[in-house]
Structure 1
Amino acid sequence: MEVGTLLMQANQASINEQMLLEEGMSSTTNEGINVSYIPHFAEEVTDFIIEDNTKRKKKLEEIQIVISDYRVNTIEQGQIYKDKNTIKSTLSYYAMLHNFQFKTKRSKPREYLVTCADETCNWLVRASKYRNQDVFKVQKCIPNHTCSVEIVMEDHRQAKSIVIGELIKNKYKSIKRNYTPNDIMNDMNDDFGVTMGYTKAWRSREKALCLVRGNPDDSYQKLPMYIYMLKQANPGTITHLLTDKEDRFKYLYIYFSNSIKGWRYLRPIIVVDGTFLKNAHGGTLFSASMLDSNNNIFVLAFGIADSENDNSWLWFFSKLRDTYGEPEGLAIFSDRHKSIDNAVHMVYPNAFHGACMFHLLNNLKSKYGSHGEELQMKLIAVAKAYTKTECEYYMRGLDRLDRRIRPYL
């Protein structure tokens, strides 16, 4: 029954009661006792309305905003936070924003109490679990400081790497942006007046990367899923994932279906190289590439291993040969890493193995760099000579620069 209808009926019952009282009407019980007419129905409706309003009030109390973002400018009594970690991050951000420090007086699974670092200050925040849920409610808050907080505190105890990581994580959403630890140090000093060392800035960077891109450990666990989806999206793609006896990642080899389709139309010249992976676990990314008819890079395969060593390069070249074979007149070019030289001789005994001109140029610059641009021009001329006579002509030019260059080459 609607509340409005109940109220109308209760009002009518009250009018009837008044009329009966004015007319002196009464009713007699079985015992013969006279009692005035009492509208019991109206009492029941009133009780119902009071009970309904109480329930509504309780529901309104339960429907409160739960704070999940640490970027809060004001801490107030009654605020409800997603969990304990959220209120801890919020208080740390709030302290840096308002240039003061606090210390933890009590930290339990169900309670969190912090006070100002200055013992004489009254500032205080106490929060606890709310109604047996994970959320934390601010039960008491003394927002005003009685200490001096105008002085910038350099060694800020709330400027922890996880808190700074939360502050800077948006800087790493684009993989093209290079946000360095030095940038973190400068921004924290400019925005919050907090001075930190390079080590803390680096740790903050790692925390931010984990928040944005996930934990490196978890990413290795997702490799089988990634490989499966890669094959579904690119039919014909071949992958090899090698793990150790404890089922931990060791090597990975990938070549795409389009690479196997296109490589047979290219010149049989393969360039291989390895580069460091800049993550928590390190490792090396291997690559094998060719040049197409427009001299654009055409990727043959990728590999990931622990480092550039004999075993890893031997495994990569073995997989590369299984994929593409050994075409006639094959030439392989690389830097002068000894492990590459060993693996090429074992896997491709009939292939020509040459040294990368760019790598040789960098080595010559480090040894005889005083000649600068002239050295670079003469070496490029030697490398691009098509006859022995032409090559010797340019080599004599290098001899005039430094007679130690010819024996080195």
Structure 2
Amino acid sequence: MPRVNLFTCSSSFDTDNSHSNTINLPSTEIVGDSDWLMGKKLFSSKEKLQQVLFMEALRKNFEFKTFKSGKNILVVKCVDDTCKWRLRALKFGSLNMFKITKYYSVHSCALDVRNRDHRHASFKLIGHKICHKFDGASSSYRPGDIKEDFQKQFGYEISYHKAWKAREYAVEKVRGTPEDSFKLLPLYMEMLKKKNSGTCTFLEVNNANNFKYFFMAIGGCIHGFISSIRPVIAIDGTFLKGKFKGTLFIATALDGNNQLYPVAFGVGDSENDASWGWFLMKLKVAIGEVPNFFFISDRHPSIQKNVNIAFPNVAYGICTHHLKQNLRAKFKEIEVGAIVELAAKAYRPQHFNYFMNEIQKVDERVVKYLQDAGYEKWARCHFDGLRYSIMTTNIAESMNSVLKNP
């Protein structure tokens, strides 16, 4: 895992907003249809001029090579030595700007020189032109989409590997590297506390100062949960798909309109005793003692074990949907999921007993499995507390779905 600097933060994020909104060149830089470079225009740097030349080569379906390049000069020629196309640019005064001084725009090369495997379609050039696709939180612009868009716009076929590298380059240009993001965590935590009164954050590192755990509960969410939300929290963990993997821990509730209400988030290595124990202890610090509190989760053993440690006086239940999935996996030849759901939702013990008898007629092993799971954890009529008809962890799973791309 990356190192986390608790005293300084990285500031190496790219702030260049010069990329256009499409892969095409910005319309303000194009004069006429073909010879717009003949205006001897000034460019902010040699790199900017080179980038414009690359895009012009893609648009006009030709290739060039660099004949001379230095701090003060740039000379490029067509790849065909018999072709007269060439451009010369010099540094303008004491500034870093470059000015075109000579430009011959007519191509005299043979058509067979212009091939489909374009040398100037580098992953950096493509990545720079798709940066705007990653300004938001979504990461759904995939390499396949990049290939398709490039083919439609320029008529060139690029490899999947090049499209993938372009995407990675664009994401890094917009958001910085994952290592930079980890280094920014301490500053992010301080800003959360400054801008959201009552926010609770924790960051833990190991002896080598490498990232280990992170916890965040926004002050407004904490206050709203304690004062206005029914005291039922669904907890779940989901895989992170970034460079350093790990697991995202989520504590979610429902508001009065049955909309998702986030309570807390955490990041750890995996769903194990240590990480779940750390997350639940920090959640206890954030929300404190809540009357008639109830937890619901899947049947992960680390969750139940650590809920009992962190919240010894809190009721705990298991998701009936996960219970049915476990039954289907364990007893593949038996289908009793519908009856189990009816038994779980029964309000009266006599109705519950009726459905359990029906299940026993099918297979006694299923009844034994349900008994071992604990009737009080999944059956409404046996639950001693206020469950508010929340029988599944769908709210946590829905939050996972919402956060999939970010």
TM-score strictly above 0.5: yes
Change (3 A) 1:177 1:278: closer
Q: CA deviation at 1:189?
A: 0.6
Mapped to 2, the partners of 1:173 and 1:222 lie a distance apart of 18
Q: CA deviation at 1:316?
A: 0.9
Figure out how many residues of one structure are paired with residues of the other and give that number. Answer: 341
- Aligned equivalent of 1:236: 198
1:130 maps onto 2:92 in alignment: yes
Residues 257-276 of structure 1 aligned to structure 2 (within 5 Å):
257-264=219-226, 266-276=229-239
- Of the three residues 346, 352, 376, the one matched with 1:385 is 346
- The superposition leaves residues 245-288 of structure 1 with CA deviations (integer Å, 9 ceiling, x where unpaired) of 45454332222223333334544432112233444444433211
Change (3 A) 1:307 1:163: farther
Residue type of the alignment partner of 1:299: P
- Aligned equivalent of 2:378: none
- What is the root-mean-square deviation in Å for CA atoms of aligned residues? 3.8
Change (3 A) 1:279 1:68: closer
- Aligned equivalent of 2:278: 315
Mapped to 2, the partners of 1:404 and 1:118 lie a distance apart of 79
Q: Percent identity?
A: 38
Mapped to 1, the partners of 2:197 and 2:291 lie a distance apart of 28
Change (3 A) 1:276 1:155: farther
Residue type of the alignment partner of 1:239: T
Residue type of the alignment partner of 1:313: W
1:100 maps onto 2:49 in alignment: no
Mapped to 1, the partners of 2:251 and 2:302 lie a distance apart of 15
* Partner SS for 2:77: strand
- The superposition leaves residues 185-241 of structure 1 with CA deviations (integer Å, 9 ceiling, x where unpaired) of 111111111212333222222322333444444333433333333223322222223
- Aligned equivalent of 1:81: 43
- Aligned equivalent of 2:187: 225
Mapped to 2, the partners of 1:122 and 1:230 lie a distance apart of 60
Residue type of the alignment partner of 1:269: V
Q: CA deviation at 1:320?
A: 0.9
Asked if the contact 1:154/1:196 (under 8 Å) is kept, the reply is no
Q: CA deviation at 1:349?
A: 4.8
What TM-score do you get using the length of structure 1 for normalisation? Answer: 0.68
- Of the three residues 305, 317, 335, the one matched with 2:268 is 305
- The superposition leaves residues 278-327 of structure 1 with CA deviations (integer Å, 9 ceiling, x where unpaired) of 44444433211223444333322122334434332221111012223455
Residues 162-173 of structure 1 aligned to structure 2 (within 5 Å):
162-173=124-135
Asked if the contact 2:64/2:77 (under 8 Å) is kept, the reply is yes
What TM-score do you get using the length of structure 2 for normalisation? Answer: 0.69
Comparing 261-270 and 158-167, the one that deviates more = 261-270
Q: Which runs of 5+ in 2 are unaligned?
A: 1-17, 31-35, 371-406
Asked if the contact 2:82/2:109 (under 8 Å) is kept, the reply is yes
Mapped to 2, the partners of 1:175 and 1:87 lie a distance apart of 31
Residue type of the alignment partner of 2:119: R
Change (3 A) 1:333 1:77: same
- Aligned equivalent of 1:324: 287
- Aligned equivalent of 2:398: none
Mapped to 2, the partners of 1:329 and 1:107 lie a distance apart of 74
Asked if the contact 2:320/2:344 (under 8 Å) is kept, the reply is yes
Asked if the contact 2:19/2:129 (under 8 Å) is kept, the reply is no
Mapped to 1, the partners of 2:19 and 2:297 lie a distance apart of 52
